[in-house]
């Protein structure tokens, strides 16, 4: 637990420090403020309204307690939420064959979890319980807030880099360039990439923590051993198959499945 949070803290500090360095080199104080306000505005909107947008995009249908077709799924989420000492989230079903599941919402009081019809067909009850416990762990850990903050800073860095490319970088008070042009070009090109890599590393650290908390919520670390072997899509999902194999440790929002299973298996002696 402490290791994952320490890693997240260090990475958050790193991306903020990168923002300061890049901002001072290319945008100056005014450029940093404009970029941060621009990125913050976009991500604040995403923080408050992205849950409705993503559920609508997937055509998710809400499941209630009196729904007979998905009663066991609803009751499963309810029991897990009680185990996690969380408010009951809204529960959704997505009529797609792809095996997907995700959590969304700005805080535990305004959370929602969704699963596709495909994942319900592929996984048995135990495996699905492990997956939904993982998603509720994201809610409990407020990972939406963490990802929004990291995305805001990464977006601000990208905005400053674009600002530098358009207007030639920061300048001193006498009107001369405040940074070597070659260094400025390198910063403009490499800073957004570095910010993205740090943002992805933050996401991976939160996935490990969600696996751990999810195992505690379900009381069954082995439940995800099979479930995580099923491919799922998107950054919000339990596994992201869109990442390259060779550079998974750098360019993936999710850690390797083998690493996640290994850590879960280390928890089996606790249950």
Catalytic residue among 62, 96, 127, 135: 135
* Residue 180 tokens, joined: 């070597």
Report the DSSP pairing between strands 61-63 and 101-104.
Answer: unpaired
Assess contact for 44 and 181: CB atoms under 8 A.
no
CB atoms within 10 A of CB 96: 15
Assess contact for 128 and 120: CB atoms under 8 A.
yes
* Residue 25 tokens, joined: 């080199």
Instruction: Report the run of H or E that residue 40 belongs to, with start and end.
Output: helix 28-57
Is 135 a catalytic site residue?
yes
Report the DSSP pairing between strands 90-94 and 101-104.
Answer: unpaired
* Residue 187 tokens, joined: 């910063």
What is the spatial distance between Cα 30 and Cα 235, in angstroms, rounded to a whole number? 33
* Residue 225 tokens, joined: 């051993």
Angle of helix 143-167 relative to helix 2-22, nearest 10 degrees, comes to 20
Residue 239 DSSP code? S
* Active site (catalytic) residues: 135
């Amino acid at each position: 637990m402490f290791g994952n949070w320490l890693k997240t803290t260090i990475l958050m500090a790193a991306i903020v420090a990168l923002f300061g360095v890049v901002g001072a080199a290319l945008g100056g104080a005014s450029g940093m403020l404009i970029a941060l306000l621009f990125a913050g505005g976009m991500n604040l909107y995403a923080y408050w309204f992205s849950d409705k947008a993503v559920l609508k995009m997937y055509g998710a249908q809400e499941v209630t307690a009196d729904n007979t077709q998905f009663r066991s799924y609803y009751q499963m989420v309810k029991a897990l939420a009680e185990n996690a000492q969380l408010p009951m989230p809204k529960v959704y079903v997505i009529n797609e064959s792809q095996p997907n599941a995700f959590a969304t919402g700005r805080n535990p009081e305004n959370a929602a979890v969704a699963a596709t019809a495909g994942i319900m067909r592929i996984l048995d009850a135990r495996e699905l319980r492990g997956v939904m416990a993982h998603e509720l762990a994201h809610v409990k850990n407020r990972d939406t807030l963490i990802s929004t903050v990291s995305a805001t800073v990464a977006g601000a860095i990208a905005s400053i880099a674009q600002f530098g490319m358009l207007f030639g970088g920061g300048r001193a008070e006498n009107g001369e360039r405040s940074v070597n042009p070659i260094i400025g070009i390198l910063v403009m090109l490499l800073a957004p990439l570095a910010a993205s890599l740090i943002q992805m590393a933050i996401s991976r650290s939160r996935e490990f923590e969600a696996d751990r908390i999810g195992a505690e919520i379900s009381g069954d670390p082995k439940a995800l051993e099979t479930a995580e072997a099923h491919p799922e899509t998107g950054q919000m999902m339990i596994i992201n198959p869109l990442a390259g194999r060779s550079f998974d440790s750098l360019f993936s929002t999710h850690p390797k499945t083998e690493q996640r299973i290994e850590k879960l298996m280390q928890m089996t002696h606790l249950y």
